[in-house]
Each structure stands twice: as structure tokens, then as C-alpha cells.
Chain A
Amino acid sequence: MQIATQPAMPADDGFIDASAAGNIARWLRAETHASDVRVTTFERLPGGAIQDNWTLDVEIDGGPWQGTHGLVLRTDAPSGVAVSLTRAQEFEVLSVAHAGGVTAPKPLFLCRDLEVIGRVFFLMQRMRGLAAGHRLTREALLVPDADALAESLGANLARIHAIRPPRADLGGLPPPAPDHARATIAGYRAYLDGLEDAYPALEWGLRWCETHASAPWETALIHRDYRTGNYLVDGGRLSAVLDWEFAGWGDPREDLGWFTARCWRFGAQGREAGGIAPLEPFLRGYERVAGRSIDRAGLDYWQAMAHLRWAIIALQQAQRHVAGGERSLELALTGRIVHELEYELLQLIAGEAR
């Protein structure tokens, strides 16, 4: 999970350095059937707590890819959260989503050969735009027509949810649970039970979600991190949905709750659609493509689940600092977010928050 702030990745983690560019050029020459490939830019992108992203420009001579290309290389950071997909799985998901008409970077090449840079990685098209949630929610000039952006975000999410199991081309994903909400609750409880401390507010949230669960929606591909901060906006329009590492089969309402939850509005609490716009245009766009929408009770329920999920992830981040040997102020402060998430979760349960 990419966390809300921008962690500084160490540049010398011993895995990748600028000399990898030569290996990538040689590998790409074979992949693209070119006579020559030159990597002219190779720089690490900031902001990946789990994934390690590099921007590169390549010049290709000969073959079907002849020309210059702006690419992003995506690989694993030295440590991550256990539940995320492997790069090969993520490449698979992104390929299916892109082919399904989802606005996302086109995935181009997957490299499983560890001889090239020491880790599995893939290359995708580099998209233009800004992702920073704290800017998109504050600077009106960046989003001149917020309702239109929210509507296209809703429509785009529905296109992801149109991908349904079984799919032979998504064979790498874990099989869907019969009831996503209950399976999720069981997973969170199992995680909490392994911790030294106890969290009654989260426990009460889980009990409330258990007793208030409604019939599941039909299982679909869900993104599981579809929120402001994880998509690019260029010229006021959606240009790409990023960060597919948590995607999997599940109940589509989880994504609707995650996108609209207070914890992902970057302080713009009055704009329920990701801090960007009111709820209505977002749901209108969703309904136009999906043919169905979510009611208020359903949205409250999945916003409560969103706060639970974020709290569990924040606890995982805190554990990396406290017990995982990765001493980091950023991770330590992420742990302190749990109090706020508990507070918002309880407001939702008490029926007092929107």
C-alpha cells in the first residue's frame, strides 16, 4: 500500500543502481527484436513504500518498436506488505484491465530473468499527469471540472468490476472467497490475534461489520487501492489508474467504500468522492457503466470496512518499525494514524459521519 505521505527510498539498497540500465538495454534488444537499444534516462521515482519504480527513456533502432519510448520500470522494494501481488501477477492484472478499456498504463514487457537486475520487473508505458492527493484536492486549477473527473473515475471503476471470474488469463490470482466481506473480517481478526496489543475499537468495528453484512455482490476484479493519490490527472482529466499490487477477486463495493471513505479525502471532508467532488457524479459514472449503484447503508458499511483495512495496514507498517528491524520515523508515524482511523470508524458505526 502506498501510504499517504512520500517516503524517501534509500538509493543504495544494494539491488539496483544506474548500472542496471546497460543490462536492461541488452535484455530489451532481444525482447523487441531490435538492432540496438539505448537507455538514455534511468531514475528512481519517489514514493513507493512497497514497490520500487524507475522512470526510463529508451531509443530503439530496428524492429517493431523502432523509435523513442517513455517507460516506467516497476519492481519490488526490498521489503513490502505480505498481501501484495508479485510483479508477474500485477503484470497479468494490468494487461487484462488495460485490454478491458480501463484507463491505465499499458503494460509492455515482463522480465522474470533475475540475471538482468536481480529482481522480477515489468515495463509499462509512462503516463503523463499528477497523482499527489494533497494537491489534487486543494488546487482547483488542477481539476477545473471536478464533477467530470469524478464521473470518469466512477465509470472507470465500473470497467474494472466488469472483469469477472473465471478468467484463464488471471490464473495467478488467489481464487475468490464465497463471501468477500466475511472472509475479509476473518483475515483481519487473524492478524489482530497475532499482535501483542489489543484493539477494542477495531474489534467492535469487525463485530459490527459481521452483524451488519448484507448479501454479497457478484464477485469481480477489484483494485483494492482505488483512491485519490493512486491515479494520474493530466489537464484535469483522468490519465491513468496506478498501483495495482493489491488487486484481486472480491466484492465490488469494497472499492466504492475505499474511494469515498473520509480517510482518503486528504482533509477535503465535504467532498465525499475522494476529496475531489460530491458523491453524486462519481456514483452516476459508476452506475452508467455498471448498471447498478450502491445505497447509503451499503456505502456506510464499506466505508467502515475501509477504515478497518487502513487501520490493519497502518498496524502492519508500525510493526515493520517496532519489530521488523526497519527503524523509520515515517513507519512509526503511520502507526499513530490508527487512533484517527478508529475514531472515524466509530463515528460511522454511531451513524454520525459522512
Chain B
Amino acid sequence: MKNISDAADLIATARQALLDELLPRLNKDQRYAGLMIANAMAIALREQRAGADAARAESARIAALLGASSSGSPHDDEALTAQRRALCLAIRAGSFDQDARAAALTAHLLRTAADWVAISNPKALRAAEVPA
């Protein structure tokens, strides 16, 4: 148990204070801005919790799709961007046009998109993809 608040706890607590103490006192225009701020904080919080895991899993799946060995190193934004770019080039070159390859790619992309929707707007997930 930590003794002081970590980043996630600070964001969550600040968001709750915004919702409970500020929002009821705002006029209509300000209320819209207040709700946007609360939404942004909720997204940041979910990304803080789940973003690195989602990125690691995506990286491992791209490595498998491209037949490369996964570095297994901790999450690295630049390396993931390079992997995504390599995947884009392969897609554009037609490497995933065959049915089996297309199905494997679509499964990977759907999993990746679902992980990020779970962070950005979990309400938009279909029942099958709602994380446990």
C-alpha cells in the first residue's frame, strides 16, 4: 500500500472533485467544457492503467504477423511505430490479401482497436469485446 497518491490516484481524485464540486455550479457553456475535461481525465486514467499492456500485446502480435522475433523489451513508442509502419507497408503491398492472412490480420487489428476503444470510449465496444 502506498502512503501517498500516485499519478492515477491524483487524476481520479481530481476528476471526482471536478464532477462533485465544480460541475453543479457551472452554466450551460461551462458545463460542456467541464464534461469534456472530465472525459479527457477519464481517458488519461484508463490509458495510464491499460495503455502499456495494450501496446506490448500489439507489438507481440505484429511481430508474429510479420514473422519477426519480438524484442520482448519493455514498451517503446518509437519501436512500436516502426512496427506499425512495417505492417502498413506489407498491407499496401498486398501481403495480406489471401483469405487466411486477411483473417489473421483482421483479428489482430480488431483486438488492437478494441483495446484502444476500451481506453478512449468503452461504451462503444460491442458486448464481445468488453474487457473482463
Residues of A within 8 A of B (CB): 5-6, 8, 189, 192, 196-201, 203-204, 206-207, 211, 329-330, 332-333, 336-337, 339-340, 342-343, 346-347, 349-350
Measured between beta carbons, the chain A residues less than 8 angstroms from B85 are 198
Q: Are B94 and A342 in contact, with the CB atoms below 8 A?
A: no
Distance in angstroms between the alpha carbons of A192 and B112 in the assembled complex:
19
CA distance A118 to B92 in the complex (A): 45
* B79 contacts partner chain A, Cβ-Cβ < 8 Å: no
User: Is B117 interfacial (CB-CB < 8 Å)?
Assistant: yes
Whether B20 sits at the interface, judged by CB under 8 Å, is no
B130 within 8 A of partner (CB)? no
Cα distance, A55 to B84, chains bound together (Å): 47
Is residue B26 within 8 Å, beta carbon to beta carbon, of the partner chain?
A: no
Chain B residue nearest to A344 (CB atoms) is B124
Interface of chain B: mostly helix, strand, loop or mixed = helix
Q: Which residues of B contact A (CB under 8 A)?
A: 29, 32-33, 36-37, 39-40, 43, 62, 81, 84-85, 87-88, 91-92, 94, 96-97, 105-106, 109-110, 112-114, 116-117, 119-121, 124-126
By a CB distance below 8 angstroms, the chain B residues around A206 are 92
By beta carbon, the residue of chain B nearest A262 is B124
Contacts of A343 in B (CB 8 A): 110, 113-114, 116-117, 124-125
Interchain CA distance A112-B126 in the complex, whole Å: 50
Interface pair B120/A339, CB less than 8 Å apart: yes
Q: Kindly count the residue-residue contacts between A and B in the assembled complex, taking CB atoms under 8 Å apart.
A: 88
Q: Which residues of B contact A337 (CB under 8 A)?
A: 120-121
Please judge, given known A-B contacts A197-B84, A198-B87, whether A340 and B121 are in contact too, CB under 8 Å: yes
A201-B113 contact given A196-B81, A347-B126, CB 8 Å threshold = yes
From DSSP, what is the main secondary structure of chain A's interface residues? helix
Choose among B88, B91, B97 the residue with the greatest number of A CB atoms under 10 Å from its CB: B88
Q: Which residues of B contact A339 (CB under 8 A)?
A: 113, 116-117, 119-121
Contact B94 A199 (CB under 8 A): no
Contacts of B125 in A (CB 8 A): 343
Chain B residues contacting A196 (CB-CB under 8 Å) are: 81
B80 CB to nearest A CB, Å: 9
**B residues within 8 A CB of A329?**
33, 36-37, 40
Residues of B near A201 (CB, < 8 A) are: 109, 112-113
- A346 and B32 form a contact (CB under 8 A): no
A340 touching B120, Cβ below 8 Å: yes
Q: In the assembly, what is the distance between CA of A330 and CA of B105, in Å?
A: 32
- CA of A346 to CA of B116 in the docked complex: distance in angstroms? 13
Contact B91 A336 (CB under 8 A): no
A333–B40 CB distance below 8 A: yes
The 8 closest A-B pairs by CB, nearest first: A198-B84, A339-B116, A343-B113, A198-B85, A203-B88, A336-B120, A342-B113, A339-B120
